[in-house]
A = this chain, B = another copy of it.
């Protein structure tokens, strides 16, 4: 080991010479303990507590927290406005091609991507707590929408409405903490699997074939069934677009001139800025160019590429989400089967609860990435996303949330406040009003290329090495999530990952590490056994600890000291088992002594009329061991 253990023990040995009040070892642990209140006092304090809580709800601070716009709007400056305008428009240029493409992931016509891209922006200005979150469709949310609604737009819009409501409720009840139970490995496994599934869903458009399927396995099965129909034009265009996009992506990090930003000439700075802007707007540029090629070929009657086709011009109608699906017949044949509300909901399944969790997960990823260590209010974000989704469902949008890719663009474009979203939203509205006729000519394979070039960076191969070096066992939940997400619908995959992680925690609490040392008292050298568990004693571990202590006690036939320095908590089950343990030792006429047990834990143990012998002073302890 490279660590200086002697230094460590020296520091412990020298603590005695430190003046009191500075640092007094782990016993501040005990000194700081709250005084126990009597039960009656506790009951009496319920009333005032409720009043205080009720008061808090109507306090100014709560209002500022729940309507974050009040914090920044009064201080809004011209500088802020310029920063937000530039950022908003840059994000807008990214979101329009993304929205068209992501609708394809969700199995919906391209227009639905745009429908879900403007109202959320406006809502977030009022409710959003973070400047860099651009609400709208994301690749992950689109894929989850596909799996929960199978490409039926009515289901997708209703899903948006319902998940929005659930998000608002989760925000109100403070369930954002649930995110804590999605560990890093599960998150990585999930994201990587999602990236592969999304990539697979786009292969059909690059090849120009008609394939279907919701999961990775289904998609590839379908692709191989239709591989014979591959169209050369689409395939070549798709491949070229992917290469171009990857090259253009590099422009964003290309910097010319000296390394230090200060030393650069104005010219160099301008070139760098332009390169960055071209790189960032690569999707918009590609769509415009490919759209131009598509239009030219279309008018020369060449159908080399499949185009996205007609998008109804104008804004979507403002109307409630569809709570049932009417049967559509074509005279004699049924084109679309009718569905009642409950049929629609039961089709969505557990997606209804997993989508809000994933939405928050994606959203918090942006917040955490650009928060600079400041606190983020997960509940407020849930309320903002939820409200945006509910409002979106009235303009036929499908579920969306903050997208990390656009968040990064927003941040590096110099966004100052959530106001940037205003310009993004306006740009999308303008696109819907004036540009839809031109979208007709965009080749599908170009959109697929945009998605593929984006998601391949989501496959997190690079985390495997640090994970292996850091904690090998963490690879298991990560890999399990990855495989489960590929084989099963995503929501089951992530739940399996979380389940495995929870089992880890339970195992952790059931099997503490216990150090056993045979010691001897000073001078007289009476042998005794020092047994040190390393964590709290709660019900899953108590029988194990009792068994081990008894076994060692019987084996050694010396007094046993239980060093409880690390036991920070216990429960009723532990108390009863400790009672039995003490009795076991009494029956054998063997001493069992407790050393350094926190008073609060002594209180728990003695609640069951358990008479244990606790010592806080090492000399007392040795004296008792030496007694015959």
Residues of chain A at the chain B interface (Cβ within 8 Å):
1-5, 7-20, 22-33, 35-36, 39, 177, 179-181, 183-185, 368, 372-375, 466-474, 501-502, 504-506, 508-510, 513, 515, 517, 519-522, 530, 532, 534-536, 538-541, 543-544, 547, 550-551, 554, 565-566, 568-573, 575-576, 580-581, 584-585, 587-588, 596, 599, 602-609, 614, 616-620
Contacts and interface: CB of A to CB of B under 8 A. Distances in A.
Q: Is the interface of A mostly helix, strand, loop or mixed?
A: helix
A357 B439 CA distance: 63
A575 B470 contact: yes
A608 B7 contact: no
Contacts of A16: 12-17
A397 B281 CA distance: 76
Contact of A509 (B13, B505, B609): B505
Contact of A375 (B31, B539, B550, B585): B550
Contacts of A11: 596, 616-619
A317 to B, nearest CB: 42
15 contacts: A1-B35, A3-B599, A9-B20, A9-B27, A12-B15, A12-B16, A28-B517, A181-B506, A374-B550, A470-B572, A470-B605, A474-B571, A504-B538, A566-B566, A566-B568
A568 B502 contact: no
A517 B572 CA distance: 31
A573 B373 contact: no
B28 A5 contact: no
B551 A515 contact: no
A22 B521 contact: yes
Contacts of A620: 7
Nearest to A572: B474
Contacts of A472: 39
Contacts of A541: 180
Q: Which 7 A-B pairs have the closest CB atoms?
A: A470-B607, A373-B584, A8-B616, A183-B539, A184-B573, A469-B607, A16-B16
A544 to B, nearest CB: 7
Give the one of A25, A588, A604 with max B CB within 10 A: A25
Contacts of A617: 4, 7-8, 10-11
A8 B596 contact: yes
A373 B471 contact: no
Contacts of A517: 28, 32
A9 B24 contact: yes
A594 to B, nearest CB: 12
Contact of A183 (B19, B33, B573): B573
Contacts of A603: 470
A368 B551 CA distance: 14
B12 A27 contact: yes
A604 B8 contact: no
Contacts of A572: 183-185, 466-467, 470-471, 474
A24 B1 contact: no
Given A16-B14, A177-B510, A617-B7, A588 B373 contact: yes
A498 to B, nearest CB: 10
A393 B265 CA distance: 91
A444 to B, nearest CB: 38
A573 B538 CA distance: 24
Contacts of A471: 570-572, 575, 604, 607
A14 to B, nearest CB: 6
A572 B464 CA distance: 11
Contacts of A544: 180
B180 A608 contact: no
Contact of A609 (B23, B466, B565, B581): B466
A538 B504 CA distance: 10
A336 B63 CA distance: 67
Give the one of A13, A535, A572 with max B CB within 10 A: A572
Contacts of A540: 180-181, 183, 505
A609 B466 CA distance: 8
Contact of A536 (B180, B508, B587): B508
Give the one of A20, A521, A538 with max B CB within 10 A: A538
Contacts of A502: 502, 506
A399 B618 CA distance: 54
A620 B530 CA distance: 30
Contacts of A30: 3, 5, 8
Given A510-B177, A544-B180, A515 B28 contact: yes
A566 B26 contact: yes
Contacts of A568: 513, 534-535, 566
Given A9-B20, A374-B554, A508-B569, 9 more contacts: A5-B616, A7-B616, A19-B522, A28-B532, A184-B573, A375-B551, A470-B603, A470-B606, A471-B572
A618 B470 contact: no
Contacts of A372: 584, 587
Nearest to A31: B5
A58 to B, nearest CB: 25
A151 to B, nearest CB: 34
Contacts of A468: 39, 607
